[in-house]
Amino acid sequence: MHVRLLGTAAGGGFPQWNCACPYCSKTRSEPNTAKPRTQSSVAVSADGENWFLLNASPDITRQIEAFPKLHPHPARHTPIQGVLITNADLDHTLGLFLLREHSPMVLYTTPTTRQTLTEGLGLERILSPYTQLLWRLLPHTPQPLSLVNKSPSGLLIQAIHLPGNPPRYWHKVSKVSVGHTVGLSLTDVQTGGRLLYLPDLPYWPGSLTAECAHCDLLLVDGTFWDEQEMIALGFSTRTATQIGHLPISGPRGSLSRLMELQTRYKVYVHINNTNPILIPRSKQRQLVESAGCLVGEDGMEFIL
């Protein structure tokens, strides 16, 4: 399985357009300090020719242009076979509107996410004049992932149930309580290589350790370093966990969990612009790397 990190930042990217926090400011004034990042999205393929997107960020067209294997050939063609969506957050779905020129558009979601996108974001109403939307259900047991024409892709897909809240724009319609957030497990049928994608993780469920232990590449929520990060900067009155993201640091943070895993690759993605691990020489970055983990960068690739 070929895996390409298209974008590794949280919503807003890095540096964030309206942010003058220490890390955004330093990156603007000293461009060699840290690498800019676009908003979180991943591309996966079993054969290097037919690709699936894991979420479609608002930066998706820039990300496609930066990765030649996603370029059209011949005219009016795309190697993108579908989009697998972990939740209905804007930074994971606004890119769908930018992909409207191609038809059909195949979307893999939970029923809850489909309802949220349809009723809350108006996705079908807005896109139906431009493209045919084909909705396919994310299975909760490993099932073959099909190409647009229903032929095998060489990958198995499974949705991993995770706790999660609905997006903030969903407040005007009737809410449902489950299915707002999933992780994605993809397995290569031939090699057995397994990817686990968890860009939104509000806490660490007990069952998750076993899931992580059986994957070769773990892409995990790295939004915040500290539980009080946004409060300390004056950007929010909510903690990291209240916002919906387990912080990296602390006795119950994700880093303490990842240190116990023997997973081949452990990579933080969906990194907020306020997170000091974005700065290569920071002590927080050194702690992450000394624990055997990687800080995701746009353009990183893995073969499983």
Q: Give 51-95 pLDDT, tens digit per residue.
A: 999 999 999 999 999 999 999 988 788 999 999 999 999 999 999
The C-alpha atoms of residue 82 and residue 107 are separated, in whole angstroms, by 6
SS3 55: coil
178: confidence class by pLDDT, cuts 50, 70, 90: low
Q: Is 148 exposed, middle or buried (0-12, 13-18, 19+ CB in 10 A)?
A: middle
Our separate counts of H helices and E strands in the chain read: 11, 14
Q: Which pLDDT value is given to residue 19?
A: 96
Q: Which pLDDT value is given to residue 64?
A: 98
The C-alpha atoms of residue 191 and residue 47 are separated, in whole angstroms, by 12
Residue 176, pLDDT above cutoff 90 = no
How many C-beta atoms surround the C-beta of residue 25 within 10 A? Answer: 13
Q: Which long-range contacts (C-beta less than 8 Å, at least 24 apart) are formed by 112-119?
A: 112/176, 112/178, 112/179, 112/180, 113/85, 113/87, 113/88, 113/179, 113/180, 115/176, 116/88, 116/166, 116/167, 116/170, 116/180, 117/85, 117/88, 117/93, 119/173
Residue 31, pLDDT above cutoff 60 = yes
Q: Backbone phi, then psi, for 112, in 5-degree steps?
A: -65, -45
- Both tokens of 180, joined, read 């707002």
138: confidence class by pLDDT, cuts 50, 70, 90: very high
Tell me which residue of 89, 87, 90 sits closest to 180, measured CA to CA: 87
Angle in degrees, CA 267, 270, 271, rounded to 5? 90
